[in-house]
Copies of this chain bind each other. A is one copy, B any other.
Amino acid sequence: MPSTTKGSLQKQGIRLTRQRQILLDLIDKSGQHLDAESLFQLAQEKDSKLNRVTVYRTLKLLKQEGLVDELDLMHYGGDQHYYETRMKQEHAHIICLRCGKVEEFFGEPLQKLRRQIEGDFGFQILLARTEIGGYCSHCQVLRSREVEQATVAAAKPKQRVRKAV
């Protein structure tokens, strides 16, 4: 997370502690979609004393300051939240519910949506999030095979595969 971020924190009278610098750098570099636990694991490699609680407090702070966005990626992988540094450009997250791959979509419908909502409701948008779940082109094929297999198995219960032990 570059100097601009550190700058905006300091401007708010927020202290740049050693722990925060570590977390800020990780969130920025790691690219994308870290959850609190992963961030904690990574941070511990740099400072084994850094506490999980500090991770949560820092994420909450960054969220409040509008420096990171919170996602849940359709709860693929559980109930954690994922974080990414706020980008100038709004985008949707498209997650494959079979392989977990996340694509990002930037496109004018998102801006149009935003403008219409501001216009229609006189609403002041602070946070926006679009998340879409389904099957990517690759997994659609595999998925239909899986479904077919399951159907066959159900139709001929005698041939049902023994559960793995």
| A contact set with B: CB distance below 8 Å | 70, 72, 74-75, 92, 94, 96-97, 103, 105, 107, 109-110, 112-114, 116-117, 120-137, 140
A-B contacts, 24 listed (Cβ < 8 Å): A74-B129, A94-B117, A94-B121, A97-B127, A105-B113, A105-B117, A109-B109, A109-B112, A109-B116, A110-B113, A112-B112, A113-B113, A122-B136, A123-B136, A124-B134, A124-B135, A125-B133, A125-B134, A126-B133, A127-B132, A127-B134, A128-B130, A128-B132, A129-B132
Q: Tell me the complex Cα distance, A74–B123, Å.
A: 15
Say how far A137's CB is from chain B's closest CB, in angstroms: 4
Contacts of A132 in B (CB 8 A): 114, 117, 123, 125, 127-129
Contacts of A123 in B (CB 8 A): 94, 96, 103, 132, 134-137
Which residue on B lies nearest to A133, using beta carbons?
A: B127
Q: Tell me the complex Cα distance, A140–B123, Å.
A: 8
Which residue on B lies nearest to A111, using beta carbons?
A: B109
Q: Tell me the complex Cα distance, A129–B128, Å.
A: 11
